[in-house]
Copies of this chain bind each other. A is one copy, B any other.
């Protein structure tokens, strides 16, 4: 099935927000873990990267530094990560996920995954394959554009 850009863009704009709403409300309802989507993504990134700076997190999230700072603040306030000094550059910091943060991350991830997986139960294995394939394509398209956005933001900020 060959499809125009416009057609696929229309579908994305219509369906992605619906799926997103569902993911968000599932995370919110998982009381034991209580992570929002941005918190979850931040925690997962810091956990994977082991000691990234704030800028690196902002870059990955596509957020401005102040927004990222607040996001991180919340996670630190709830004992899920800590700030540490950078060995050579004292302006920078290194973010580290605490054992408690790692545990919460795991609970949140597995719970949300289980919910999503259950919903995908009625979908054929082949259609699931199509979903995975589509996600791969989308990842390559949109992961790249994040960096661009980030640079633009930086540029706007300094005029």
Q: Which residues of A contact B (CB under 8 A)?
A: 1-23, 25, 37, 41, 61-62, 109, 112-114, 116-123, 125-139, 141-143, 145-146, 149
Q: How close is A158's CB to chain B, nearest CB, in angstroms? A: 17
- Number of copies of this kind of chain in the complex: 2
The residue that A16 contacts in the complex, of B7, B16, B62, B118, with Cβ under 8 A, is: B16
Contact A8 B137 (CB under 8 A): no
Contact B9 A129 (CB under 8 A): no
Identify 11 residue pairs between A and B in the complex whose beta-carbon atoms are under 8 Å apart, listed by A's number: A4-B128, A7-B128, A8-B123, A8-B129, A12-B116, A13-B112, A13-B116, A21-B62, A130-B133, A130-B137, A131-B134
- Chain B: which residue is nearest A15 at the CB level? B135
Please judge, given known A-B contacts A119-B141, A128-B8, whether A17 and B41 are in contact too, CB under 8 Å. Answer: yes
Q: How close is A141's CB to chain B, nearest CB, in angstroms? A: 5
Main secondary structure of the interface of A (DSSP, over half): helix
The residue that A18 contacts in the complex, of B19, B122, B134, B146, with Cβ under 8 A, is: B146
Contact A120 B134 (CB under 8 A): no
User: Hey, which chain B residues are within 8 Å of A11, CB to CB?
Assistant: 131-132, 135-136
- Chain B: which residue is nearest A10 at the CB level? B113
- Chain B: which residue is nearest A112 at the CB level? B13
